[in-house]
Amino acid sequence: MNAAYAAVARRAEHRCEYCHAPEVVFNFPLEVEHIVPPQRGGSGELDNLALACRACNLFKSDKISMNISYYQDFHFINVAITSLMPFSKGINF
């Protein structure tokens, strides 16, 4: 387990920051993923990293969509995630 994983997992309380599934459900570590993908200009800083289960990470993939319907199934628990989404102002997930 690396330092970034430990910091992100602690912040997320060992839950997927999208679907809220606890890490213990999967019985293996969740994945640290980029909220804004590097291909889209995202950094490797902790405020651009999210803890995600494999299903959410695959669903989100490397896309950033301006279309709200793309994200309406996500229930963000990380303030950093909602603040980095370009359409998130005034919208509750």
Q: Is the pLDDT of residue 77 over 70?
A: no
pLDDT at residue number 92: 40
pLDDT, tens digit (0-9, with 9 covering 90-100), for 52-69: 998 888 888 776 643 445
Per-residue pLDDT of 25-44, as tens digits, reads 767 779 999 988 888 888 99
User: If pLDDT is split at 50, 70 and 90, which confidence band does 18 have?
Assistant: confident
Determine which of 17-31, 37-51, 60-74, 76-90 has the lowest per-residue pLDDT on average: 76-90
State how far the Cα of 30 lies from the Cα of 68, in Å rounded to an integer.
25
State the Cα angle at 83 between 44 and 48, rounded to 5°.
10
